[in-house]
Structure 1
Amino acid sequence: MPKTTYAAITLGSNSFNMLVARTQGHRPQVIAKYKRKVRLAEGMGTDGRLQDAVMQRGLDCLAMFGRMLDNHKVDRCHVAVVATATLRSVSNADEFSERAVPLLGCPIEVICGMREAELIYQGMVANTQGGGRRLVIDIGGASTEFIVGEGQDVLLKASLPFGCVTGQRQFFAHFPYQEQDFIDSAADVAKILTEQGPMLRRLGWNAVVGASGSVQSVIELLAHRELPQIITLEVLQQLKTEILQQHSADLAGITGLNSERVPTFAAGVAILLALFTQLNLDRLQLSGGALREGVLQQLADRVAG
C-alpha cells in the first residue's frame, strides 16, 4: 500500500514555506522543501491593509506551491496551511485568503500567537537534540515567540509584537545605519518585554535555542567563517560593528552573509543583541525545527490517525 504524501505550508511575515513529506518509522520524512522570502510584513500599510503589490507577491508564491502540490500528487485533504502575524493583523486578510484558496485548493488557518508558540515548540522538540529546560526564541517577520519548556511540556509561552521585517522598516529604513538605530531598536524590545521578561527569567532554563531566519543568518555566517556555530554576545557585537562599517546597503563587506538575508539582517542582529541583554543570555544555538516542522508533525499525526 503506497504511503500517504502530505504537505505543511506556513505563511510567515517574512517567508512562506512548504514541506512535502511521507511518514517513515512513525516520523515525517521530508521529500521536498520550498521557500520564498515574500516579506509580507513589508506590505502592512498605515491604513491597516496589506498593500496590493505585496499581496500579489504572496499569491504568486502560493500559485507556485499549488503547482508543486500537483506535481507531488498531494491530496488537498492532506494539506495544512497556517498563517501568522501579518495575516492576523491586516484588515484585508479575508481578501488574501479568498484569492489564495483557489490557487492552493485548500483553506488557510490564521493562528493566534499562542498557538504559533505551541507549534514552534513542538517542531523544536521533534527535531532538536538535548533535554532539560529550554528557552526557545523564534524571531519572525512581525512577531517574536518565546517558549520555555521541558520535554513535551510547555511551561510558558508568549508572542510579542516585534520582528525583523517590521524592525527593519521602523529602525533601519535609511542607510548608512547608525549607532542610534541599534539603541532605538533595543529600547523598543525592552519596552515590549517589560511584562514577559521577568517571568521568563524567573522560570530559568538550561539552554537557549533560536528558530528563525535571523538566527540562521548568523549561524550560516559563522559556518562560512569556520567559527563555532554558537551565537554569543561577542559574536553579535562584532556583527554590529561590521554593519556600522559598511559602505553600501547590500552589506557586501560582511563575509559569509547570504545576499538573501541582507534586507532584514541589521534588524535581526539588533533584536538578538537586545534579547541577549534583556534576558541575560550567554549563548544561543540553532533549533532543528520550528513552526513548519510543528505543523508537519501535527499533520503526520492526523494522517496516521
Structure 2
Amino acid sequence: MPNLLANNELMAAIDLGSNSFHLAIARLDHHEVRKLASMSEKVQLAAGLDENNYLTEEAIERGVACLARFVGRLDTVSPERLRVVATNTLRQAKNANVFIERANAVLPKPIEVIAGREEARLIYLGVSHTNASTDKRLVVDIGGGSTEFIIGKGFEPILTESLQMGCVSFRKRFFANGEITEKAFEQAIAAARKEIMVISRTYQKTGWDSATGSSGTIKAVKQILQGLGMTDEHEQITFKGVKHLQKQLLKMGHIDKINFADVKDTRKAVLPAGVAVLLAIMSVLGIDTIAYSDGALREGVMYDMLGRFASEDVRDRSVQALLTRYSVDVKQARRVVKTAQNLFEQVQRTLSLTEEDGDILRRGAYLHEIGLAVSHSGYHRHSAYLVQYSDIDGFSQIDKNRLAHMLQYHRRKLKTEGYDTIKSIAGNDLVYLTLILRLAVLINRNRSKQENLTLTLNIAGDKKWQLGIIGNGDNIDLVLSDLDEESQFWQKWGFVLQINPVK
C-alpha cells in the first residue's frame, strides 16, 4: 500500500467511550503524531443502557448529536485519514446496530466496534508513544463500562485484558441514588476485586517495573490529589492518597456535595465509582504509586492508523501469527493469494473496489484454510468461526465479520440466503470479493503451482463474469470441470460465470 499520509497532513480519531466521546485531530510531523485540536463530551452512553442492555432513545440521540458536532470540526480531514472506534457499551448493547446505523448517517467514516483486548492494545499504543519509557510497565485505563489492563515493554504489549467494570456501570450499580456511603464503597470495591482476581495471578507472575494510568478517572484523581498536596514527589498517584480521597468523598456524602476544584459536574457523578475501582486495582495488584498518561485510546488509534499508512499494518502480522498457530499450509495459502490478487487487479476498476477491499481479500485468501486445524469436514465453517470469535490484534468486529462471512462462503454450494446475508453486511463489494476468493481457491485445488495457466477475468455487467483460461496439461481439464460445476452454484446468487478455455 502506498504511504497515504505525508508530513503536515491531518488525521483524526473519534473514540466512542462508555462515559465520554472524544475527538482528536493531529498532523504527522517526522513520523510523530502531533495533536492540534481535541473535543470531549460526557455523553455517558453506558448510563443509557436499560436493565435488558438496550440503549434508550435518549442515549442514542445524545450520542448522535455529539457526533454531529464533532463532524463540524472535520472538514479539513479526509475520510481516509479518520477512524471512529466504539468500545464497551456498543459491544454490550443489544440494539447497537440502531445507534451505529444512525451515527454512520452522520459520520464520514463508519464506526468500528472493537473488542476489549483490541481496545487494550490500542490504549497501550497511545500511552507508549505519548510517554516513552524503557520500563516493563503496567498500564491501566478505567473507562465508563470496562477497564483495560496491559503489560508491555517499549511499543509492544505483552499481556492485554479487558474487565467488565467501569465508572459509569459501577455508578449505576452502587451509587445510583447519588449517596456516597461506606456500604456502597465496600460493595463496589468488593465487586471490582472479584473481577481483578481473575487476572491477578497471571499479571503478577509476568511482573512490571512501573504502573501508568490513562483516561478520565485517573486524570481526575491525579488533579484532585495534586490540589490536596497528596501526590508524591513525582506527582504520581499514591495508594495512601486515593484512600484519603475516599475518606473525603464519604464526608461529603453525596455527589451533589463534591466540591473539589477543577472537577466538572459530569465527572462528579462517576467519581466515587471510579475511585472504588482504582482502590481495588491498587490493592489487589499491590500498586503503591501510579503515574498518569495523557495519551490513551484515540492517540493509539492514530498511531495504529499511521502504521497502516506506512505498510506496517498490525493486521498483517496477526494474519501471519494465525497461519503459524493453526499450522496452515503456507505455500498453498500464498498460491491462493497470488491468484486472488491477479483476478482482483483485473476487475478492481470495473467493480469500483478499493485498496481496502484488496486487503480484505488478501487476508481472507491467507486464512481460508485455518479451519482445517479443527476438522477437514466443513472446514470453511470452522475457518469462519475462528476468525469471528478470536481476539485478533488490529481487527475490529466489522473486519472480523466481513472476513468470517467471506470464508464461510468460499467453497461448496451457494444458497440464496447466503447472498442476502453477505450483501447485508457489506453490500455488493463483499459479494464480489467472495466470488473472487472462490475462483482463486478452486483454481488452486490441486495444490501445485499454476505457471502453465494464464487467467483473464472480465465483467460484462456486474452479474456476468467471463473467465478466460489459457493453459495445457492434465490439470486444466480438472480445473475446467470444477469451474463448470461452480458456474451452476453461482446461479443461486444470480450471477453468470462464463468459462472461455483456450488450450
TM-score bracket, normalised by the shorter chain, equals: over 0.9
Pick one of 186, 190, 198 that aligns with 2:189. 186
- Return closer, same or farther for 1:158/1:225 CA change in 2, 3 Å cut-off: same
Query: Does 2:283 align with 1:277?
Result: yes
Larger RCO, structures 1/2 (Cα 8 Å, 6+ apart) = 1
Corresponding residue of 1:246: 252
Pick one of 29, 41, 48 that aligns with 2:34. 29
Corresponding residue of 1:67: 72
3-state SS in 1 of match to 2:270: helix
Corresponding residue of 1:43: 48
State the distance in 1 between where 2:264 and 2:224 align. Answer: 8
Segments ≥4 residues shifted beyond 6 Å: none
Worse overlay, 251-260 or 184-193: 251-260
CA shift for structure 1 position 47: 1.9
- Encode CA deviations 1:49-108: one digit per residue, 9 max, x unaligned: 1111011100000001111112xx211121101100000110111111111112112100
* Letter aligned with residue 217 of structure 2: S
* Letter aligned with residue 236 of structure 1: V
Does the 8 A contact of 1:251 with 1:262 survive in 2?
Answer: no
Pick one of 122, 137, 148 that aligns with 1:145. 148
List alignment gaps of at least 5 residues for structure 2: 1-5, 312-503
CA shift for structure 1 position 231: 1.1
Does the 8 A contact of 1:224 with 1:256 survive in 2?
Answer: no
State the distance in 2 between where 1:188 and 1:176 align. Answer: 18
- Return closer, same or farther for 1:81/1:256 CA change in 2, 3 Å cut-off: closer
* Letter aligned with residue 30 of structure 1: K
3-state SS in 1 of match to 2:256: coil
State the distance in 2 between where 1:254 and 1:19 align. Answer: 27
State the distance in 2 between where 1:243 and 1:153 align. Answer: 38
Tell me the percent identity.
37
Corresponding residue of 1:200: 203
CA shift for structure 1 position 254: 3.4
State the distance in 2 between where 1:2 and 1:187 align. Answer: 49
State the distance in 2 between where 1:304 and 1:3 align. Answer: 15
3-state SS in 1 of match to 2:197: coil
Corresponding residue of 2:13: 8
State the distance in 1 between where 2:128 and 2:7 align. Answer: 28
Q: Which has the larger radius of gyration?
A: 2
CA RMSD of aligned residues (A): 1.7
3-state SS in 2 of match to 1:104: coil
3-state SS in 2 of match to 1:55: helix
Corresponding residue of 2:126: 123
Does the 8 A contact of 1:19 with 1:32 survive in 2?
Answer: yes
- Encode CA deviations 1:221-265: one digit per residue, 9 max, x unaligned: 233345533111111111111111115432344355343420110
* Letter aligned with residue 296 of structure 1: M
State the distance in 1 between where 2:263 and 2:77 align. Answer: 35
Query: Does 2:117 align with 1:114?
Result: yes
* Letter aligned with residue 308 of structure 2: R
State the distance in 1 between where 2:102 and 2:112 align. Answer: 14
Pick one of 226, 236, 239 that aligns with 1:223. 226
> Where do residues 150-189 of structure 1 align in structure 2 (5 Å cutoff)?
150-189=153-192
3-state SS in 1 of match to 2:161: strand
Worse overlay, 45-54 or 295-304: 295-304
CA shift for structure 1 position 288: 3.4
State the distance in 2 between where 1:68 and 1:224 align. Answer: 33
List alignment gaps of at least 5 residues for structure 1: none
State the distance in 1 between where 2:258 and 2:195 align. Answer: 32
* Letter aligned with residue 27 of structure 2: R
State the distance in 1 between where 2:227 and 2:241 align. Answer: 14
Query: Does 2:298 align with 1:292?
Result: yes
State the distance in 2 between where 1:252 and 1:144 align. Answer: 24
* Letter aligned with residue 251 of structure 1: K
Does the 8 A contact of 1:10 with 1:81 survive in 2?
Answer: yes
3-state SS in 2 of match to 1:281: coil
